[in-house]
Amino acid sequence: MLERTRPVLDAGYIELLDLMGDESRIVKAARITTQTQGQPESDRRLLERLLRDGHNTVFEPVHMSWQVRCPIFVARQWMRHRIGTFNERSLRYTTIGDEDTYYNPFPSDSPLAYQWDLQMQSQFATYGSLLNSGVRPEVARGVLGTALYTEFMWTVDLWSWTNWYRKRCAPSAQAEHREYAQASLDLLGEKMPVFAQALLRIDSAAAACS
């Protein structure tokens, strides 16, 4: 049974909500140009060549929607790519409750984890006090840090997703964001294994040449 959700970090996740199109649509988009037909093996080679040579238009007919729960600082990096559409939870129309949590990057028995927890709990307490004093939620949220988890839906085409994945799996990318990118590829790879394997082969070859 194919997975749709992967846990990420200590309390986050990424879920593949919907996938419109598949590998056959990529090949069909390419072959409509030349009006040719192919066999499974030649289609696989064609897909890999298209990906290697950067023929983005044949990948754009495939669209997907993701639901993500991640720290705000990861979400802000994500949205800086300016690709696809985003719908994020609003702390103007919702308020932080007992079910909400935050990311702690340190081992639970670490003194740094204890300091982190104290700071976040202080933020939550101040936030609650502001709300109880009648401060509007959209103003009170200003005391909350970017380690707080947020949720959003992301709808994107496959070529734009590929650009995001390559940037966020790069060695220089922030480790927390790399985990979401890897989980995303794992889920997509269950639906589109030929594409995922081709992407990994091509990127591995490119890395070896750099």
Number of compact structural domains in the chain: 2
Q: Which of 118, 144, 170 is the last residue of a domain?
A: 144
Three-state SS for 22? coil
Does 119 reside within a domain?
A: yes
Q: Are 197 and 16 in contact (CB under 8 A)?
A: no
Whether residue 163 is found in the same domain as residue 138: no
Angle ∠(62,23,159) on CA atoms, nearest 5: 40
Q: State whether 160 and 75 are in the same domain.
A: yes
* One domain, residues 13 and 76: yes
The 10s digit of each residue's pLDDT in 167-194 is 999 989 999 999 999 999 999 999 999 9
- How much is the pLDDT for 100? 82
Assess whether 11 and 78 both reside in one domain: yes
Phi/psi at 85 (5° precision)? -120, 145
Q: Which amino acid is at 55?
A: H
Torsion of CA 56, 172, 150, 165, to 10 degrees: 20
pLDDT tens per residue, range 100-132? 899 999 998 999 999 999 999 999 999 999 999
Q: Say how far apart CA 105 and CA 152 lie, in whole Å.
A: 21
188: in domain: yes
User: Are 25 and 54 in a shared domain?
Assistant: yes
Task: Work out the pLDDT band at 36, boundaries 50, 70, 90.
Answer: low
Whether 77 and 15 map to the same domain: the answer is yes
Query: Same domain for 78 and 157?
Result: yes
Residue 16: strand pairing partners: 66
- Containing structural domain, residue 140: 105-144
The model's pTM: 0.90
How confident is the model at residue 209, as a pLDDT? 42
**Which residue intervals of 54-145 are DSSP H helices?**
72-79, 111-132, 137-140
Res. 74: pLDDT tops 50: yes
The predicted structure's pLDDT at residue 210: 39
- Catalytic machinery residues: 168
